[in-house]
Amino acid sequence: MKKKLLAVCLVLICSISLLNAQKLNVATYNIRNDNRGDSIAGNGWVQRCPVICELIQFHDFDIFGSQEVLNNQLNDMLAGLPNFAYIGVGRDDGKTAGEYAPIFYKKDKFKLLKSGNFWLSKETTFPNKGWDAVLPRICTWGEFEDRTSGLRFWFFNLHMDHVGVEARKESAKLVLSKIKEMCGTEPVIFTGDFNVDQTNESFTLINSSGIMRDSYEASKIRYAQNGTFNGFNTDRKTNSRIDHIFVSPTFDVLRYGILTDTYRSAVAESNEEIKSGNFPKEVSLHKYSARVPSDHFPVMVVLEYKK
């Protein structure tokens, strides 16, 4: 009888522990817009899309923010990621025109409670350019509930302007004010291509706000052999992180990684076999070109939320 009671107690303890500690695989990924120039250079969307979708599936993203996503790319990603749904609109007309800053999430894992968008500008309710920005910029947000644990959290995702210094600073202030207004003390995840690195004033505004913190700095384990921008060049390195995941203090950051996955594309000489005495005679290599799926590396974190 005592053994049965002990077993029941252990099961209850494990169940309570699982309910009180909820892990999430969260990411941000600028996938690079579909354009003719990249296709000519060998980095076309048609060849990159399957790699991006496989990368997302393999690394098991639960929910992620993306940037530079055109409507045709959105549809291609949904086809390649059938277990995901999305929220977001095109920044040019609030419908399907221009780049999205969508949030993709696993349909069977999360329930969408509410969602919306606002423009990074003084006028937040319709498409327009803010401050010194050269393009209209948008932030997409959603409130989600984990179907298993019942955890509710907010997710904000954006792409800040690549030129406007004032626009980036004011955009940071705007989103922070929205988070305070909308979310209160509830858990929040804030992702995006911020177009500023960890030394910039706009980054510091968010990281020192007291309501959001940089997941890189907070992480217990880091895997960051490069910065987050690569320019489609596998032979370049930077220490600048311009793609960020900020989280509220209610999350523990267990792991942080900049995923530098590559793939190979054929070159003219790829049919020629390369043999070596260093591996079995049955094995041969062919000359291929190393490529990256986007001009940005995705950033992934493993979060734990404790009630």
pLDDT at 14 over 70: no
pLDDT at 15 over 50: no
Please tell me the least confidently modeled range out of 92-96, 239-243, 279-283: 279-283
Helical ranges in the chain per DSSP H: 2-20, 36-40, 45-58, 71-80, 165-183, 201-207, 215-218
| pLDDT at residue 286, as a whole number | 83
CA distance 155 to 144: 8
| pLDDT at residue 276, as a whole number | 76
| pLDDT at residue 1, as a whole number | 53
| pLDDT at residue 12, as a whole number | 47
pLDDT at 205 over 80: yes
Q: Could you tell me the pTM of the whole model?
A: 0.92
Range 180-193 average pLDDT: 98
pLDDT at 9 over 90: no
Strands 84-87 and 103-106 come out as antiparallel
Domains and CATH numbers, the chain: 21-306 (3.60.10.10)
CA distance 307 to 254: 16
Is the separation of the CB atoms in 137 and 100 below 8 Å?
no
Range 20-38 average pLDDT: 93
Average pLDDT, the chain: 93
Strands 213-214 and 188-193 come out as unpaired
**Quick count: other Cβ atoms within 10 Å of Cβ 247?**
25
Strands 221-223 and 152-159 come out as unpaired
| pLDDT at residue 13, as a whole number | 43
pLDDT at 112 over 80: yes
Range 196-222 average pLDDT: 98
Q: Using one digit for the tens of pLDDT, what is the confidence trace for 253-304?
A: 999 999 999 999 988 766 778 877 777 878 888 889 999 999 999 999 999 9
Range 99-111 average pLDDT: 98
Range 172-192 average pLDDT: 98
Range 245-252 average pLDDT: 97
Q: What percent of the chain has pLDDT over 90?
A: 85
CA distance 196 to 117: 22
Helices and strands (H and E) in the chain: how many: 7, 17
